[in-house]
Amino acid sequence: MPALAVKKLTKVYRNGHQALRGVDLTVDEGDFFALLGPNGAGKSTLIGIVASLVTKTGGEVHVFGHDLDREPELVKASLGLVPQEFNFNLFLPVIEVVINQAGYYGIPRREAEARAEYALRQLDLWDRRGSQMRVLSGGMKRRLMIARALVHRPRLLILDEPTAGVDIEIRHAVWRFLRELNAGGTTIILTTHYLEEAESLCRNIAIINDGRITENVDMGALLGRLKTQTLVLDLKRRPTRLPQRDGFVLEQRDDHTLEVEVAEDTSINGLFEALSHAGIEVVGLRNKQNRLEQLFLTLVENDRGGRDLPA
């Protein structure tokens, strides 16, 4: 039984705007799933419907086999949502935020306290349990939202842009935590603009654009469609000449920067051999554009132009 099954889902907002145009989506139990799309694509609308925050216009939603129309309470009990916006009482101490949430799910106070402690420790917030929300940093608030969403032990966790506006250290800590949670059996769906996040965490991915799912594949297959990647090399000194080698296109960006376009399936060992041979010393290396981002842009462009997706 899938964790989430969405069929022919539509949403027309009161102002007549059609945000979802017949979305079909299945997320298997245990999956780590990314929902990607540009701003306004319909991501928040879709997860808002699944989390009972937005009413759907048409279609069906099942969460672990429970029908959102007929068993909304069972759907709510089986999922946790980490919304994009902070929506806490700013004057409440951290621990009360989590205990109150447990109360909404009918968890008795004593049990709620134990669960709140566990969740706060997991997210490295136990030391801040007495602090008011308003004094927490952005990263702490984000982690608190996750702790709160987990207190009723949902089998499905949905996160809307979980690391938006979070610095890199916190982002990696959140990623580590989510990976562990997923390894423990929790199904995770996240929306993200931050495409490296999807690439780093998720096994399967759907791309949504203008209220329609345009891609729904596993991450490896998606990345495999890319024909080239561009590497940016930081050089110790300005090179006197650039080596020529099949499979690589080298371009000098400035005195200390070289860009190399590498064809698909080409080993980059040969590139470094050629560079060493030419006396070029590389002190840094990165991908110019995240590969998924590149693919995403291609897909959206193709979609706009009405042309076929890359084979």
Contacts with ligand ADP, residue ranges (CB under 6 A): 13, 15, 17, 19, 37, 39-45
Calculate the alpha carbon distances from 2 to 5, 23, 65, 105, 169 in Å.
Answer: 6, 16, 7, 23, 33
Nearer to ligand ADP, 15 or 267 (CB): 15
Q: Which tokens sit at 132? A: 């008011």
User: What is the spatial distance between Cα 213 and Cα 25, in angstroms, rounded to a whole number?
Assistant: 8
Per-residue burial over 140-164, b if 16 or more Cβ lie within 10 Å, else e, is bbbbbbbbbbbbbebbbbbbbbbbe
Amino acid at 194: Y
Smallest distance from the beta carbon of 69 to ligand ADP, in angstroms?
A: 21
Nearer to ligand ADP, 120 or 207 (CB): 207
Smallest distance from the beta carbon of 168 to ligand ADP, in angstroms?
A: 23
Nearer to ligand ADP, 84 or 131 (CB): 84
Calculate the alpha carbon distances from 282 to 136, 240, 243, 275, 276 in Å.
Answer: 41, 14, 14, 8, 9
Smallest distance from the beta carbon of 160 to ligand ADP, in angstroms?
A: 7
Query: What is the sign, positive or negative, of the torsion defined by CA atoms of 170, 173, 175, 178?
Result: negative
Nearer to ligand ADP, 164 or 223 (CB): 164
Nearer to ligand ADP, 214 or 230 (CB): 214
Nearer to ligand ADP, 15 or 269 (CB): 15
Amino acid at 297: L
Which secondary-structure segment (H or E) carries 275? helix 269-277
Smallest distance from the beta carbon of 39 to ligand ADP, in angstroms?
A: 5
- The sheet with strand 282-287 has its strands ordered as 248-254, 257-263, 228-235, 282-287
Nearer to ligand ADP, 95 or 208 (CB): 208
Smallest distance from the beta carbon of 225 to ligand ADP, in angstroms?
A: 23
Smallest distance from the beta carbon of 254 to ligand ADP, in angstroms?
A: 36
User: What is the spatial distance between Cα 6 and Cα 255, in angstroms, rounded to a whole number?
Assistant: 53
Smallest distance from the beta carbon of 40 to ligand ADP, in angstroms?
A: 4
**Which residues neighbour 258 within 8 Å (Cβ) at sequence distance 6 or greater?**
232, 233, 235, 239, 242, 250, 251, 252, 280
Smallest distance from the beta carbon of 45 to ligand ADP, in angstroms?
A: 3
How many residues make up the chain in this entry? 311
Nearer to ligand ADP, 154 or 211 (CB): 211
Bridge pairing between strands 66-67 and 58-63 = antiparallel
